[in-house]
Amino acid sequence: MDFFFYPSSVAVFGSFKEGAIAHEILRNIVEGGFEGRIVPVNPKGGTVEVAGRRFEIREKLEEPVDTAIIAVPAKIVPDLIDEIGPLIKGAVVISAGFSEVGNEELERELVERARKHGVRLIGPNCAGIFGVHGKFFGSFEVRVKPGGLALISQSGAFGGAALAMGNDEGVGFSAFVSYGNASDLNESDFLEYFADDPNTRAIALYIEGVKDGRRFLMALRYATSRKPVIVLKAGKSASGAKAAASHTGSLAGSYEIYRAAFRQAGAIEVEEMEEVFDAAKAFEMYKKAGKRVAVITNSGGPGVLATDKLERLGLEIARLSDETVERLKSFLPPQCSVKNPIDLIADADYERYKKTIEITCGDENVDSLLVICVPPIFIPSEEIARAVIDAECDKPVIVNFMAGELVRDGIELLEKSGIKNFPTPERAARALFWLSRR
């Protein structure tokens, strides 16, 4: 499927009037810096200008391209596929008006035409795809920062919202695919593909229901054997399942069966949208972590909140070795607490944080660290950020700098060094929980 996510050439079909779907997709592809050939196609011809580049609109496609993105009225899509089938490897059909509105016949026809030419299909009724490391943004959704998360979404709108929110939350993406009606390729195919994609460090999957449970379980197992798969299942409650049935036509089936399948396959099931981002950020940074956590903080309260959450999630507050305690005592002011959670108190500076992280990291009773920083009063938050960056530690370090504008500079500095911030002590604790599930 590289021709979808790392294409060397693409054609876009639809209207190129300002604001039309095809125009927006073309704009995204150009602004996203796609380096391959881009061919806009519309029978009316003409030209279109996006992001300062002017394109001839071809009346028909006459040269081979890897992938076609199609946003033309549903009823003409099958004939278009027939026409361009010999020239393309894959087609992403954005157009709606197929099985999701009862038009099963038209969808069947679309699939038959594609099969005839050996063309693979994504969609119809989808929001498109991103291959972020191929600089290919083949969707009207907001572009995202490059990173390790491949997002597979049965719901286009959920996917779009998750991309935008992920951007704000500091998630980096390797790919995005909204697969709509899944007429040909479905969640199982994408799971298998991203399992082997070298740019993808974790996969997030939003599903309401799957059609082929056995195939799905196999694909999920394969993927989880290679990298973490975060699953958000919608349609868990009775009313939710009914709503899903009318939304994606998913016969959601009993949630218990899905839950057992996720567990059996070793997937990371999250409960809420926000948790997708937290888990994704954790797995972009680390493969896994043990259960024994050391908490380091410059403020008691947030340290206590983190401790509560860690224990509640079944993690352990690491028992520091006598040697660690002695070494900490040797340089920390007497008001500091050298029991875990380690409280460096309000005036903790670069040295205090860095040394404490390094000593604690060296303790064989410690599997991972949770480092908290509330806005220091006398020094800029960047200084603490630098301590976290500079500290030598080969174990997972999850960071919670809070809050708001007061630590923005520190957080930016962390992110430049590939360290993602978690906004509350509890969300940081939950990140460690997911790491412990691998």
- DSSP annotation of 387 reads H
Instruction: Dig out the tokens for 199 from the structure.
Output: 């740019």
Q: Which of residues 62-101 bind its own copies (CB under 8 A)?
A: 101
69, amino acid identity: I
Instruction: Dig out the tokens for 170 from the structure.
Output: 């500091």
Site string for its own copies, 105-124 (x = CB under 8 A): --------------------
Cβ closest to its own copies, residue 7 vs residue 209: 209
Cβ closest to its own copies, residue 87 vs residue 406: 406
Of the residues 60, 215, 247, 288, which one makes contact with its own copies according to CB under 8 A: 247
Whether 43 contacts 72, CB under 8 Å: no
Judged by CB under 8 A, the stretch of 79-87, 164-172, 179-187, 219-227 that binds its own copies is 164-172
Q: Which of residues 166-225 bind its own copies (CB under 8 A)?
A: 167-168, 206, 208
Helix 273-285 vs helix 156-169: angle between axes, to the nearest 10 degrees? 50
Q: Where are the beta strands (DSSP E) in 140-190?
A: 146-153, 173-178
Q: How far is the CB of 427 from its own copies (least distance, A)?
A: 7
Q: How far is the CB of 36 from its own copies (least distance, A)?
A: 26
Of the residues 273, 291, 325, 438, which one makes contact with its own copies according to CB under 8 A: 273
Distance CA 178, CA 187 (A): 9
The answer to whether residue 257 forms part of the interface with its own copies (CB under 8 A) is no
Distance CA 416, CA 57 (A): 40
Whether 138 contacts 28, CB under 8 Å: yes
The answer to whether residue 128 forms part of the interface with its own copies (CB under 8 A) is no
Distance CA 163, CA 76 (A): 30
The answer to whether residue 5 forms part of the interface with its own copies (CB under 8 A) is no
**Total residues at the site for its own copies (CB under 8 A)?**
75
Of the residues 90, 170, 410, 423, which one makes contact with its own copies according to CB under 8 A: 423
Contacts of 19 by beta carbon, 8 Å cutoff, 6+ apart: none
Of the residues 11, 26, 427, 435, which one makes contact with its own copies according to CB under 8 A: 427
For 330, counting Cβ atoms within 10 Å of its Cβ (0-12 exposed, 13-18 middle, 19+ buried), the class is exposed
Cβ closest to its own copies, residue 197 vs residue 343: 343
Of the residues 87, 142, 218, 325, which one makes contact with its own copies according to CB under 8 A: 142
Cβ closest to its own copies, residue 202 vs residue 336: 336
Site string for its own copies, 284-303 (x = CB under 8 A): --------------xxxxxx
Handedness of CA 239, 237, 427, 173 (dihedral sign): negative
Whether 341 contacts 317, CB under 8 Å: yes
The answer to whether residue 343 forms part of the interface with its own copies (CB under 8 A) is yes
Q: How far is the CB of 114 from its own copies (least distance, A)?
A: 25
Q: Which of residues 20-49 bind its own copies (CB under 8 A)?
A: 21, 24
Whether 66 contacts 90, CB under 8 Å: yes
Distance CA 252, CA 255 (A): 7
Q: How far is the CB of 37 from its own copies (least distance, A)?
A: 27
